[in-house]
A and B are shown apart, each in its own frame.
Chain A
Amino acid sequence: MHEMSIASSVVEICAEQANGARVMRVTLEIGQLSAVMPDAIRFCFDVCARDTLVEGAALEIIETPGQARCLACGAALAVAEPFGLCECGSVDLELISGQQLKIRQMEVM
């Protein structure tokens, strides 16, 4: 379960950036095509945060929908998976959004 190592990276980065302050809230951006499950992150986050400056912090996850551009006709289309079929019949798609895996911000006290 890679969510564990991702959650642990999130906690590590926040604790480092917090510079000794207590982290109250963390906002993540997780794209729907990123292969990362928000629910699993939520679970792992609490576990990883234990005994750190991040312990007890609220976790907010913004899920970015998947978007692709057809390399054949140039149309933009919404995709729920990292592949799809354009109306023009092409499967040659470039993913343009939805692969984000980011810490947007945190709130410290």
Chain B
Amino acid sequence: MCTTCGCNGAQAAAVTDLGEREQGQARPGEMDEQQQDAEHAHPHVHAHSHAHDHAHPHDHEHAQGHEHSHGHEPALEPAHAHAHEHGTSVTLEQDILAKNQLLAERNRGWLAGRSILALNLVSSPGAGKTRLLERTIRDLGDTLPLTVIEGDQATLNDAERIRATGARVVQINTGTGCHLDAGMVSRGLTQLDPPLRSVVMIENVGNLVCPALFDLGEQEKVLILSVTEGEDKPVKYPHMFRASTLLLLSKIDLLPHLNFDLARCVEYARRVNPAIEILQVSAQTGEGMDAWYAWLRSHSADLARMRSAQTG
């Protein structure tokens, strides 16, 4: 934007514009004679030239297609002040989640440098994330070192359950927040200090909506859907199903007691995300857990392989 006359051209970036805009914002009454006479001869060049085909309410004229150069120092700049009745537009074109994204990428780099597989576990409340983790940690024991970041609005209950298994765990309480964000996870990781070539399970706040939008820097999202929920969850909460790599259908030991239509649930999940992998598990009976462990091992091994290829 041209801050001299306030016209909208193909404009440059925001911040410098604002500084200049303040220069050009003296009230008409504050201008002295000399400034009033100042023509558009100020020694600054905008990178753009604009065709002035609209009427300007100020008392000087400038040639069509003129260029003014803005390579000035504000203090030396003649106050080219015109009365602005309208505000100044500042183009931002900024991704609202950019800050989270940046922190997430930083986490991702931090994790990759340590060959750590980080998984973002998402589900609605009560789908059995913590139970799944307890069993996974006990079954895998020392063969695959696992640490946990627990996210909940309140209480240390889940962290205490994990600690009882002997694994290292850090709890993040989000207060009223409905999801973890990359900044919280960054602090969590620092605190957790997970060992090299391990797996970090980030148990997100139970919520199938908000966590879909906030990248934590994880390798993959793993969605846990218990069969005590509706089979139409994939189409009701498509964002989360689309963002996830693996769907764990949990509590399958309860299937005989329920009207859950498993085939339909799988069909819905594939409709929303044709590439999603689906495993059926019961942390209670252990059914299907081996496939989950195999998935974990292969992803962890892939990461280590990738890392060693990079470092030669």
Please list the residues of chain A having a beta carbon within 8 angstroms of any beta carbon in chain B. 1-2, 5-6, 9-10, 13-14, 17-21, 24-25, 28, 34-36, 81-83, 85, 91-92, 101-109
Contacts and interface: CB of A to CB of B under 8 A. Distances in A.
B89 A2 contact: no
B19 interface: yes
A108 B87 contact: yes
B94 A102 contact: yes
A101 to B, nearest CB: 5
A32 B214 CA distance: 17
Given A21-B22, A83-B273, A92-B274, A2 B94 contact: no
B177 A81 contact: no
Given A2-B209, A19-B19, A83-B271, A10 B96 contact: yes
B18 A19 contact: yes
Interface string B199-211: 0000000000110
Contact of A107 (B87, B209, B214, B235): B87
B197 interface: no
A6 B95 CA distance: 11
Interface string B10-37: 0000110011011000000000000000
Which bracket fits the contact residues of B?
Answer: 35 or more
Contacts of A101: 95-97, 213
A14 B121 CA distance: 33
B99 A9 contact: yes
Contacts of A102: 92-96
Main secondary structure of the interface of A (DSSP, over half): mixed
Given A10-B96, A82-B238, A82-B242, A104 B91 contact: yes
Contacts of B22: 19-21
14 contacts: A2-B178, A2-B213, A5-B181, A21-B22, A81-B238, A82-B238, A85-B271, A102-B95, A103-B94, A106-B92, A107-B89, A108-B18, A108-B88, A109-B84
Nearest to A95: B242
B214 to A, nearest CB: 7
Contacts of A108: 18, 21, 87-88, 90
Interface in B169-183: 177-179, 181
Given A6-B97, A17-B92, A108-B90, A91 B18 contact: no
A23 to B, nearest CB: 8
Interface string B72-100: 00000000000010111111111111011
Contacts of A13: 92, 94, 96
